[in-house]
Chains A and B, each alone.
Chain A
Amino acid sequence: MKAAVIVFPGSNCDRDCKVAIERSTGASVDMVWHGESALPAGLDLIVLPGGFSYGDYLRCGAMAALSPVMAEVKAAALRGVATVGICNGFQVLCEAGLLPGALLRNERLKYVCKPVALEVTNAQTRYTAGYGGRREVTMTVGNGEGNFFADDATLDRLEGEGQVVFRYLDNPNGSARDIAGIVNAQGNILGMMPHPDRAFEAELGSADGALLFQSALASA
């Protein structure tokens, strides 16, 4: 099993993602600089990590979405490779047009950093199959612009098609319909604000994130 973590200037969870994936799945993880024009061959999983790519200039994720490597990430994601954007990575996926919607400033203007309880809204995705019958998991959020927004028609479609993967049980940032994570219609591109990479072993307060990476690679 082979994974890649994309490193943008200003990413700060890239190492966390690498360690989280390695320890929870045993996959080998390449760090890929954003300026690369090719991805390693035979990837089973691509992760866009959290952080503040390009200092959040213009809009969170906007500059990163245009990085050279993103053309390759887009092509791979559209081919069906499992692609996960966490926190800033979710913002990048939305800016890149790979997921619908956008992430706005948190409703109460506050940077929120704490463990959050999440409902596993769709347990049938390739990312959540490993949770089995569990309906509630815990991961940590850390964001100032994690307030998911989309127009009502898009929200209705996301809900109707089972594309809402995680919901906050106690919404920390004003996200529309308590949405914490979504997948694209094909189900291979996941964007989420909570960090599975900060919840991959019990010592971190939760190991629930490990199951997400395990599920992603089990179905690869």
Chain B
Amino acid sequence: MRAKVHVFLKPGVLDVQGKAVENALHGLGWSGVEGVRVGRTIEFDLKSTDAASAETEVKAMCEKLLANTVIESYRVELA
């Protein structure tokens, strides 16, 4: 099973990197771009074949290491 974890700064937390990318896109002429957020994706294989237990496991990894829930939110995809 392949896990993908998407980590982004929470909506209320200023994403200065996203803001800089947004300004750059505006500079290139894409003036309709708004709300750019820069996050990260972490991918890995899991030996588990049970989707429910895999999800519980990956969420625990997010809480413990992959995301800092003071400032970040995460989304888990399993395939």
Contact = CB atoms under 8 A, between A and B. Distances in A.
Residue of B20, B65, B66, B68 with highest tally of chain A CB at under 10 A: B68
Measured as residues with beta carbon below 8 angstroms from the partner, the interface class of chain B is 10 to 19
A119 interface: no
A102 B65 CA distance: 14
Interface in B32-60: none
B16 interface: yes
A198 to B, nearest CB: 25
B71 interface: yes
Contacts, number: 34
A176 to B, nearest CB: 10
Given A106-B16, A109-B16, A109-B20, A101 B70 contact: yes
A108 B16 contact: yes
B31 interface: no
Contacts of A100: 70
A58 B17 contact: no
A174 B65 CA distance: 25
A95 B14 CA distance: 19
Interface in A105-158: 105-109, 149-151
Chain B contact residues, majority secondary structure = mixed
B65 A149 contact: no
Contact of B65 (A66, A105, A108): A66
A62 B66 CA distance: 9
A102 B68 contact: yes
Contact of B68 (A95, A108, A109): A95
A104 interface: yes
B36 to A, nearest CB: 14
Contact of B16 (A59, A62, A66, A105): A105
A111 to B, nearest CB: 13
B28 interface: no
B79 interface: no
Contact of B13 (A62, A95, A149): A149
Contacts of B9: 104
A95 B20 CA distance: 26
A45 to B, nearest CB: 27
Nearest to A100: B70
6 contacts: A101-B70, A102-B71, A104-B14, A107-B14, A107-B16, A149-B70
Interface of B: 9, 13-14, 16-17, 20, 65-66, 68, 70-71
Given A66-B65, A109-B17, 4 more contacts: A62-B65, A101-B70, A104-B14, A105-B16
